[in-house]
Every structure is written in structure tokens, then in C-alpha cells.
Amino acid sequence: MKKLALMIGVCALGATACSHLREPTDAQLTTLLRSNRITATDAAPPLDQRAIGCLRAWSGDATLLKGLPMNIAGEDGKKACHTELDTRLADAARNPDKFTFAEVTAPKAVRRALGLQETRNLAELANPTAQEIPPALLHKNVPTAPVPPGATFAPTDPTIDLGLAGTQLKEAQSLCEQTQQAAAAPGAKDNLKRYAAFCVGNLRRLQATMEIAGKNGRAQPELQKIATGANNMATVARNLLAGGKK
């Protein structure tokens, strides 16, 4: 009876004492969060960035919430995120160990997911071929993708000092927006239209990677490696805007 009374007293002091949350491993998080756009040959399958954003939105951690766009952090966005995460958790292939919503949105688990995302992004960006603009975008006789109307970029997180790399990213984003405007003009060249449709998503991904790296205390040389892709895209944009063929 004394032990039972003691346990009741401990539980009364805090729910966490009687409701231990399991912490998923890297492998379990990867399985849960892997992107739908993967192939059987992916040795390190990419993670779904929106799913990780949803984890951040429900983490309840002020630091993890910083910089989240309103379409995820807002009330409607969180509701949609809850549904998306519930779908992943209910999938036995993704969640064979039956982790709960509370377990995967715990701040410690979310930080681990962000770390996995950063590791994958940095590995991809360290590959020289990942820094190249797809040649098909700049050649003739390739179908022209539609240019996203008025696509813009979210401001960088003001609490993160990206230094020169952040300046280079903004320059590339500005040039991307200029190619969109030029691509909408009558008689715009097809290669300009293709680049304008390509640059938005690519630079948004670069920004997300750079901010995660900065938030995790990565040094300027490492941020500069990420910015290499932005610099390459800025060079291509300048040439296209000037009428060049590069």
C-alpha cells in the first residue's frame, strides 16, 4: 500500500513521470519521414521537408517554431499537418513500431529529424554534380515548363546569421525573380522560361538547408559550400537575362 501511495503521489506531481515517451531512432524516423518521391536505388532516401515542418509546428518548442511559414504554423496549417502526420503514423510500412503522435512531435525527436535532414542535404550539396544546372533546362527542343506566377521567397530567419552565404542566396533569389518577370514578357526565350520555372523550388530548398545549417551552428566555410549552388544559379540567371546562351 505504501508503494501504491508513493506512485500515486509521483504521478500527481507531473504526468510525464507516468507517461514515458519513446524516442524513435534515426532509422525509424527515416522510415516514417521518407519522401514519397524515392526510388529503390536510393541509398539515403530524401526526407519529406513538409512532414518535418509539420513536426516542428506541433513540437510546442519556441525555437523549433521560428521561421515556419504560416501555411504550416497557422491554425489551418497545423490541422492539415495533424492529418498528414496521422496518415504516416497509421501506415504500418512507415511506422511498424507504432510510434504515437506525441512521441514523434516531442522536441528531442523533431531536432533529430532536422539533423537527419541537414545531413542528407549537406551530403547532396557536397556532390559537385548536385551544384550543376540541369543541361536540359538550357537547350532547345525541350518542352517548356510553365512559369509559376508571382512565385516569391520567404524572408530568411532574422535570428540566424548566414553571413556572406546569406547575401549570395538573396542575390540568386532576386535574379530568379527577375527571370520570372522576363519569362512572362512576349517573345521570351524558351531557355529563360525553363530556368524561371526551375529556380524557385531549387532556391527555396537551398534556403531551408542553409537555415538549418546556421541554426545548428555550422561555420561560415560550411555555409559557403551550400551557397555554391546559389552562386551557380545566379551566374546562369545573369547570362540568360543578358541574352547569353550559357
Which has more pLDDT, 9 or 236? 236
Name the pLDDT band for 149 (thresholds 50, 70, 90): low
Tell me: do 86 and 148 sit in the same domain.
Answer: no
> What pLDDT digit, counting tens, does each position of 50-94 carry?
999 999 999 999 988 887 888 898 999 999 999 999 999 999 999
**Structural domains counted in the chain:** 2
Going from the C-alpha of 201 to that of each of 36, 43, 152, 153, the distances in angstroms are 17, 23, 10, 9
DSSP string covering the chain: -HHHHHHHHHHHH-GGGGSPPP---HHHHHHHHB-SS--TT-SSPPB-HHHHHHHHHTS--HHHHTT--HHHHSHHHHHHHHHHHHHHHH-TTT-TT---HHHHTSHHHHHHHHHHHHHHHHHHHHSGGGGSPPGGGGSSSSPPPPPPTT---PPPPTTS--HHHHHHHHHHHHHHHHHHHHHTSTT--HHHHHHHHHHHHHHHHHHHHHHHHHHTT--HHHHHHHHHHHHHHHHHHHHHHTT---
Q: Does the pLDDT at position 25 exceed 90? A: yes
Look at residues 126, 150, 176 and tell me which one is the last residue of a structural domain.
Answer: 126
Dist CA 71 CA 77 (whole Å):
5
Tell me: do 121 and 142 sit in the same domain.
Answer: no
224 found inside a domain? yes
80 found inside a domain? yes
Tell me: do 122 and 49 sit in the same domain.
Answer: yes
> What pLDDT digit, counting tens, does each position of 156-189 carry?
778 888 889 889 999 999 999 998 888 888 888 8
Tell me: do 32 and 66 sit in the same domain.
Answer: yes
Tell me: do 40 and 103 sit in the same domain.
Answer: yes
> What pLDDT digit, counting tens, does each position of 183-209 carry?
888 888 888 888 888 888 888 888 888
Tell me: do 141 and 122 sit in the same domain.
Answer: no
Tell me: do 233 and 147 sit in the same domain.
Answer: yes
Look at residues 126, 144, 163 and tell me which one is the last residue of a structural domain.
Answer: 126
201 found inside a domain? yes
Tell me: do 146 and 190 sit in the same domain.
Answer: yes
Tell me: do 67 and 141 sit in the same domain.
Answer: no
Tell me: do 93 and 180 sit in the same domain.
Answer: no
86 found inside a domain? yes
48 found inside a domain? yes
pLDDT for res 11: 45
Look at residues 79, 102, 126 and tell me which one is the last residue of a structural domain.
Answer: 126
246 found inside a domain? no
Tell me: do 122 and 140 sit in the same domain.
Answer: no
163 found inside a domain? yes
pLDDT for res 113: 92
Query: Which range of residues forms the domain containing residue 193?
Result: 136-241
49 found inside a domain? yes
pTM (predicted TM-score): 0.54
The stretch 123-143 carries a mean pLDDT of: 51
Tell me: do 67 and 34 sit in the same domain.
Answer: yes
Q: Does the pLDDT at position 15 exceed 80? A: no
The stretch 23-47 carries a mean pLDDT of: 78
